[in-house]
Structure 1
Amino acid sequence: MQPLRGILYKVMSVALFMGMASLVKAASADVPPGQAVFFRSFFALPIIFGWLALRGELRNGWKTKNPMGHFWRGLIGTSAMGLGFTALGLLPLPEVTAIGYAAPIFVVIFAAMFLGEKVRAFRLSAVGLGMIGVLIVLSPRLSLGGTLDVSQTLGAVVALMGAIFAALAHVFVRKMVATETTAAIVFWFTVTSSVLALFTLPWGWLMPDMSVAVMLISAGLLGGVGQICLTSSYRYADASLVAPFDYTSMILALTIGYLIFDEVPTGTMLIGAMIVMIAGVLIIWRERRLGLQRAQQRKATGHSGN
């Protein structure tokens, strides 16, 4: 393990994904979300192929024992991406980022529901705290008092649905890693999302001008490199160590939102985001402790059999 290298790769992946999101947001007024999903996925494929070639896995890395699992993971993950891209066109970048932090909270819930993981009082409390934070972030968009901006209310709902679908996709991946390689999961998701995005053609794809096309192609390239950096971070460090660095995306979102999109965050959004981040870090910390305990139990069991 090389933890500092793993952290570096994680921070790089966060920066690349935030750059990708910014480009998609900038192009959102000119192309529909489904078209943006296609560009993001299709133009990541050359990066993925190059990565497989460098790893010596171009011939076998894409092979799978669970094709239907990849399809369902791809369908859910593509839905999460499409919802996230839709929200980017309706809400400020920091707000979409903050709502996206709800995904790890829903992962705990779905892991208990679908994977049979035991969730005790500590993680339940963290989930409850995170949900309070999410409600605070959403409250200005869903308030019954005053005048609501319908498009931004829709954006808040869509962003939350995106976080839910992202959590479901993560649970699928947790289940698939038992039989599938990381390379296969990355490759087939990129292929599946490219194909599924084509089904949105009847909903008004447009011929982008040169500047918009460059932004969309760049989003795909950044997304592909970001995926590789993310995968590499887990090779050099434990997931529980690098996971908290996801929250550096808020610093980037606030900076990019203010400097490029002229978006000024509200105090309510910042307070809610901080609560969600605290809950997420608590969940990550508890997951790390449980992982260490399980490792010690396996080691003790192995020794007892000698």
Structure 2
Amino acid sequence: MPSHDRPIFALFLRFLATILFSVMLLLVKLTGERGIALSETLFWRQAVPTVLIFGWLATRGELGRLRTQRPWIHARRALIGGTGMFLTLGVVRLLPLAEATVLGFTTPMFAVILAAVLLKEQVGVWRWMAVTVGLLGVLVIAGPDTTNLPLSGVAVGIGAALMVALVTIQVRDLSRTEEPVTVVFYFSAFSAPVLGLFLLTTGVSHDLVGWLMLGGIGITGLCAQIAMTSSLRYGSVSSVIVVDYVQLAWATFWGWLIFNHLPPASTWIGAPIIIGASLLIIWRERMLGKARADELKA
């Protein structure tokens, strides 16, 4: 299925995704404080999109849009994405929202490492330098005092960024042949039944507020995922990923408004280091992409 390059629309979709994703993470943290198990939160995060997408397409007589020639690729994406989602939502319960969000910005660094290790790509000094600087930024945020920022939470945050780097490659590949709604549906449909097994041990007894939070996680997660996947369909990774850094502002705002938490000095120092390193990687990737395109034209 052909892809149409619409960079402004892609940036808008990515910006919308940052808002929705920040609200979803806020609800995840709030459900944690209400004692709702993470596995149950993950189940509703996946089950709600599965039902809503299937029902929406069924009422429109468009279930044929779910046909795919790549079921195993979707299954692999679900495995990687499910692991990444477990870590991404888990770190929110271990760390403050702003710090958890900043650690997610290390994704471009892991993308470079994965490209070198898995794809055997030649990585130059600029990108390796950016990776090194970015990881130093993580050390600054972690700091010597682990009271407010436990190392276990930092490790989970870094693991989440690694898995997101893998997911980004998968989604970009699937977006070349599949609609965003198809990609999102199979991610949820493959993982929801597995997560549903955990309900046997966690139970599903909640008050109205708890149910509204779980439903909100599913709905905001669905909309954020469609917007993010669509942004990769209408624009390149290097052009839209810069907008993701807006999410730090949302996370800081929610942390201050709901939890009366403002990041310490170490976060304000480390965050620009990580963001700067990530932007350098993105810029370098874009320059290399242009150079390869020029070589093909010559």
Q: TM-score, normalized by length of structure 1? A: 0.86
* TM-aligned CA distance change 1:80 to 1:237, over 3 Å: closer
1:44 maps to 2:42: no
Counterpart of 1:163, as a letter, is A
Superposed CA deviations along residues 20-72 of structure 1, whole A, max 9, x for unmatched, are 1111111112211111111111112245447768999630444133x333223
Hey, what's the Cα distance between the residues in 1 that align with 2:238 and 2:198?
A: 37
Q: Secondary structure, in 3 states, of the residue corresponding to 2:259?
A: coil
2:244 to 243, 246, 253: 246
Hey, what's the Cα distance between the residues in 2 that align with 1:68 and 1:112?
A: 25
8 A contact 1:2–1:236 mirrored in 2: yes
Q: Secondary structure, in 3 states, of the residue corresponding to 1:44?
A: helix
8 A contact 1:137–1:268 mirrored in 2: yes
1:79 maps to 2:77: no
* Backbone CA RMSD of aligned residues: 2.6
Superposed CA deviations along residues 180-234 of structure 1, whole A, max 9, x for unmatched, are 6655432211212212322433553442221011011111101111112122323
Unaligned runs of 5+ in 1: 143-147, 301-306
1:190 to 188, 191, 196: 188
1:35 to 26, 35, 40: 40
Aligned residues with identical type, % of pairs: 36
1:218 maps to 2:216: yes
Aligned residues: 293
Hey, what's the Cα distance between the residues in 1 that align with 2:121 and 2:37?
A: 38
1:157 to 155, 158, 177: 155
8 A contact 1:42–1:191 mirrored in 2: yes
* TM-aligned CA distance change 1:196 to 1:135, over 3 Å: farther
Q: TM-score, normalized by length of structure 2? A: 0.88
For 1:35-114, list aligned pairs within 5 A.
35-49=40-54, 58-65=63-70, 67-114=71-118
Unaligned runs of 5+ in 2: none
8 A contact 2:49–2:185 mirrored in 1: no
2:9 aligns with: 5
* TM-aligned CA distance change 1:31 to 1:241, over 3 Å: same
For residue 269 of structure 1, report the CA deviation from its aligned partner: 1.1
- The more displaced of 189-198 and 216-225 is 189-198
For residue 266 of structure 1, report the CA deviation from its aligned partner: 0.5
1:24 aligns with: 28
2:292 aligns with: 294
Counterpart of 2:244, as a letter, is D
